[in-house]
Amino acid sequence: MTTVGTLIDTQGRVLRDLRISVTDRCNLRCVYCMPVDGVAWLPRADVLTYEEIVRVARIALGLGVTGIRLTGGEPTVRAGLEVLVRALRDLDPALDLSLTTNGLKLAAMAGVLRQAGLTRINVSLDTLDRARFRQIARRDRLHEILAGLEAAKRAGFSPIKVNAVLMRGFNEDEAVPLARWAREQGYELRFVEWMPLDSQRSWSTERLVPAAEILAALQREFPLDRVPGTDPSAPAELHRYRDGGGTVGVIASVTRPFCERCDRIRLTADGQVRTCLFAHEEHDLRGALRRGASDEEIGGLLKAAAWRKEPGHLINQPAFQQPARGMSRIGG
Ligand code: SAM
Ligand code: SF4
């Protein structure tokens, strides 16, 4: 039996973008995400199997989901990621299937992932300076990411997006060097505002580098024109280099929230549905999956969760409270 309906919420938003975290584990320790010693990993038995993930994805596709992004933690550290990619691709040849990765393992995996049916790739990189990278990611592995990006290009991924987070006191002056490099390499760069989702709770408005400041720095170097929005649910505000050098984007989740256009729903590695990065409530799917619930029941749980999607985050309001899970355990 198939499920019917769509994932719609009380605000009339239809949720079409499913973000699946395949693991909470990671091979870096970025300062804006994780503490130096990492976080306690989920017990393996709590993590959904690939079969369970594919089942949820199949049901979600039946409910109108059109895009799936695999994330983590670091998704490439989970063994056999290409097997999951192939199984998801087999669900629907038209599925927009993407991956967010720190790029460390792409040199070895980009070709395999592409062949398995991955359509798009986002690589996170916050500096091109080796010493700074070591400071931010707490590992001396910048060269491996650059090799991974090259491998992604060779494998035929296009476009390749690069996501950068800027933090005051670490890499606030990297906007222009990163933009220059991305233009030369043909990568689509997106600056993501630092959000209060770090496990060590060191976020502050003073250390956040706002999108407006990033854009002003870019404008001084490269004249830009705002690209009128094409996809209303896309969070990135895009700007085109006037000299034809492509586009650069900012994702101003904190200073210019786009909650009213958000069409995302998330599945954590341990099978909890989250309808907002900043949600305090989670909806347990793992229990239902493991006690033999039917597709209709799973679909019903997804629909009920979607219906309760938070109208918006409250970061800029006094009532804001950071959620218990950090970004690496939610799936960014
Ligand atoms: N490990 C992979 C990676 O780094 O791309 C995937 C997971 S990571 C949590 C997904 C994205 O979230 C990355 O682009 C990372 O830079 C971003 N991120 C992590 N913590 C963040 C925070 N507190 N605020 C904003 N972005 C954050
Ligand atoms: Fe790992 Fe990604 Fe978090 Fe960095 S941002 S610590 S790579 S999960």
Distance 230 CA to ligand 1 centre (A): 24
Within a domain: 7: no
Each residue's pLDDT tens digit, 3-38: 679 999 999 999 999 999 999 999 999 999 999 998
Q: Which atom belonging to ligand 2 lies closest to the Cα atom of 327?
A: 3
- Binned at pLDDT 50, 70 and 90, residue 1 comes out as very low
Contact 121, 105 (CB under 8 A): no
Find the mean pLDDT for residues 307-319.
89
Within a domain: 71: yes
- Binned at pLDDT 50, 70 and 90, residue 44 comes out as very high
Find the mean pLDDT for residues 103-110.
98
Say if residue 230's pLDDT is above 70: no
247-251 and 237-241 beta bridge pairing: antiparallel
Distance 251 CA to ligand 1 centre (A): 12
Residue 314: predicted pLDDT: 84
Residue 147: predicted pLDDT: 98
Out of 165, 190, 197, give the residue to mutate to test ligand 1, the one with the largest number of ligand atoms within 8 Å of its CB: 165
Residue with tokens 């996809």, as numbered in its chain: 231
* Alpha carbons 198 and 165: distance in angstroms, whole number: 12
Within a domain: 230: yes
Each residue's pLDDT tens digit, 190-220: 999 999 999 889 899 999 999 999 999 999 9
pTM, entire model: 0.96
Find the mean pLDDT for residues 83-99.
98
Mean residue pLDDT of the chain comes to 95
Within a domain: 2: no
Within a domain: 9: no
Say if residue 232's pLDDT is above 80: no
Question: For the chain, what is the domain count?
Answer: 1
* Higher pLDDT among residues 63 and 231, named by residue: 63
Distance 171 CA to ligand 1 centre (A): 15
Question: Who lines ligand 1 at CB under 6 A?
Answer: 26, 32-33, 71-72, 74, 100-102, 124, 163, 165, 192, 194-195, 197-198, 327-328, 332
Each residue's pLDDT tens digit, 266-307: 999 999 999 999 999 999 999 999 999 999 999 999 999 999
Strands (DSSP E) contained in the chain are 17-23, 67-72, 96-101, 120-124, 160-165, 188-192, 224-226, 237-241, 247-251, 264-267, 272-274, 283-284
Q: Which atom belonging to ligand 1 lies closest to the Cα atom of 33?
A: 20
Out of 192, 193, 198, 330, give the residue to mutate to test ligand 1, the one with the largest number of ligand atoms within 8 Å of its CB: 192
Residue 27: predicted pLDDT: 97
Residue with tokens 């994780």, as numbered in its chain: 34
Within a domain: 119: yes
Residue 3: predicted pLDDT: 64
Within a domain: 77: yes
Out of 23, 29, 30, give the residue to mutate to test ligand 2, the one with the largest number of ligand atoms within 8 Å of its CB: 30
Provide the domain limits for residue 323. 17-330
Question: What percent of the chain has pLDDT above 90?
Answer: 88
DSSP 209: -
Within a domain: 62: yes
Say if residue 101's pLDDT is above 50: yes
* Alpha carbons 49 and 270: distance in angstroms, whole number: 9
272-274 and 188-192 beta bridge pairing: unpaired
Alpha helices for 155-195 (secondary structure H): 175-185
Question: What percent of the chain has pLDDT above 70?
Answer: 98
CATH number where 85 lies: 3.20.20.70
- Binned at pLDDT 50, 70 and 90, residue 316 comes out as confident
Contact 239, 248 (CB under 8 A): yes
Question: Who lines ligand 2 at CB under 6 A?
Answer: 26, 28-30, 33-34, 72-74, 102, 124, 327-328
